[in-house]
Structures are given as C-alpha cells and as structure tokens.
Amino acid sequence: MEGKVIPPKISLAAARVNAGYDQSLAAVKLGVSTETLRNWEKGNTIPTYDKVVKICELYQYPADYIFFGKTLA
C-alpha cells in the first residue's frame, strides 16, 4: 500500500462532536487556538505527536481510528 492514503474512519470534527465539545472548548482543553483546531479539522495542517496524544485522550478515540483509518473492531 505504499503511497496510498487510507482515509480516516471518523473525522476530527466528528470525534470532537461525539465527545461533546464545541471548537472553542476543545481548543482550550488542547491548549491551541480555535484557528489551529479548525485547520486540523479541515486537513490544512497536521497536529504534532503530543497534540495527537492529547486529542485521543480528550475525545476518547484511539489514534489509529482517527488518523489512520482503522476500525475499533
């Protein structure tokens, strides 16, 4: 599968909403601006590893499910 991108099973925005956060509150809890969070959700920029860990903890989804297109099964 070299060079092939597997789309995520759930978007960052959907994971955020499912966790019960609006953009403003999630940004505060992640220690970033709402603009930064918005850019991550739109795919304009990519969060750093430490922010990926925080996102997964806050939204309670494994990184593989959000970022690498694997299922929870």
- Dihedral sign computed on CA atoms, order 64, 55, 11, 46: negative
**How does pLDDT run across 17-61, given as a tens digit for each residue?**
999 999 999 999 999 999 999 999 998 999 999 999 999 999 998
Mean pLDDT confidence for 58-73:
76
Token pair for 32: 């970033």
65 vs 34, 56, 61, CA distance in Å? 23, 10, 7
Domain 12-67 part of CATH 3.20.20.70: no
Q: The pTM is what?
A: 0.79
- Dihedral sign computed on CA atoms, order 63, 69, 70, 73: positive
pLDDT at position 65 is: 81
